[in-house]
Amino acid sequence: MKKFLIIACAAILCACNGTQPENGGMRQPKQKSFASADEQLCYRTNEFTFNLTSLVCKNPDKENIILSPLSASLMLGMLMNGADGETLTQMQQVLGFEGLTPAEINDWYANLLQTLPALDDVTTVNIANSLWVKNEFPVLEDFIAVNRQFFDATADNVDMADPATADRINQWAADNTNNLIKKVVTPDEIRSCVMLLANALYFKSKWSTPFEEAATYDAEFYPLTSSVTKVPTMRGKVNAPYADTKEGQLLELDYQGSKFCMDILLPEQGKDIRKVLAGFTAEDWSDRLARLRYADVHVALPKLDLHYSRMLTNDLKAAGMPRALSMAAEFPHISEIPTYLSWVKQVCHLTVDESGTEAAAVTIGGMLESCVPTEPTEYKEFFANRPYLIVIREKEQGNILFTAMITNPEAK
């Protein structure tokens, strides 16, 4: 049996009850039985996915939110190899690895990096990791070696004060996302950093049942915060897993090969998708998926071509790992010089059209010396004409690659 845990990022060893603490952080665990250890770990990492999605959507900075909790998890997974003490404990709890040894965690990530891109030959999944170390900063060789071994991470020594370094990093991002993401950092953002940790995640697949371009038309869409608009909307008939839920409707659309799919949670008219997501948990998600049954469905789905970027620093603090993001951080396995994670930035792109889906994410974390101050988504009718949630996942274990809240398809 594959030791293929999950792709979102994580929670507590046990399941969670869906009650969000008033001050943020991870939800309180409750007992839940699982068929296997893989299923349990998948559940735990899904909890991180929905916790992070919930925190970001609770304080949105754009009308459309696109995230890859998996990309964030991979970057933080590399960083955990340098952590100890309370810093390590918080990171393990947030990412869903509480109770596991560093060797077990590294094995999980290594297995994920090998398994996910090879699930089928009609879906492209590329994952790349890299470390960028300031010239003459005394990083410990063991830290570099373990990330090379388990994360296949490249490591480069660079001049952080040279604007050309930002250009190199941005080119690395473009090279590993099929040119969807061409800019992730600026020279000013990295100038004071002693090290950067980066992950790039790329996904591309075609629908199992494509939409016909001739059927695409301009349809009304009702955003949360602005007046009704018209957006290019794909339409067609499918026989696909479908469920009526307490929130509204859930539809699963397969990609070719049937190893990956897109789930679309469409709340009832008048229900705010942001409020739905505010308390949504991995248990809620598991329950909704269990209700899916094949049905004939008329589908109308907006085309998307969206770009999104966000500093996740405060979101990760609220998720339950503030210590790593403070000068009290304990990263003794990175360098003898004390360091901390100053900021975490993620840039995402999502394209949904008649043929399929292309998505990419790059997550970068900037490390500073602790003495340096911080700088600043009969026929049933499924008509997505109002804000909705998108989840792109792998179907065998339930690993989630991307989540997206779409409130206005035309907003940039």
Q: Residue 386: pLDDT band by 50, 70, 90 thresholds?
A: confident
Q: And the tokens for 266?
A: 């469409």
pLDDT in tens, 234-255: 999 999 999 999 999 999 999 9
Give me the mean pLDDT over the 375-392 stretch. 77
pLDDT in tens, 147-202: 999 999 999 999 999 999 999 999 999 999 999 999 999 999 999 999 999 999 99
- The rounded percent of the chain whose pLDDT value lies above 90 is 71
Closest CA to 363 of 337, 379, 344: 344
pTM beyond 0.85: the answer is yes
Domain ranges of the chain: 1-412
Least confident of 2-16, 104-118, 231-245: 2-16
pLDDT above 90: residue 17: no
Q: Residue 32: pLDDT band by 50, 70, 90 thresholds?
A: low
* Cα(24)–Cα(222) distance, integer angstroms: 30
**Is 259 within 8 Å of 384 (Cβ atoms)?**
no
Task: Go through 342-351 and write b for each residue having 16 or more CB atoms within 10 A of its CB, e for each that does not.
Answer: bbbbbbbbbb
pLDDT above 60: residue 121: yes
pLDDT in tens, 250-272: 999 999 999 999 999 999 988 88
**Is 184 within 8 Å of 232 (Cβ atoms)?**
no
Q: Residue 388: pLDDT band by 50, 70, 90 thresholds?
A: confident
* Cα(410)–Cα(139) distance, integer angstroms: 45
Mean pLDDT of the residues in the chain: 88
Q: What fold characterizes domain 1-412?
A: Antithrombin; Chain I, domain 2 (3.30.497)
pLDDT above 50: residue 2: no
pLDDT in tens, 48-85: 899 999 999 988 888 899 999 999 999 999 999 999 99
**Ramachandran category for residue 398: left, alpha or beta (phi over 0 → left; psi -120 to 50 → alpha):** left
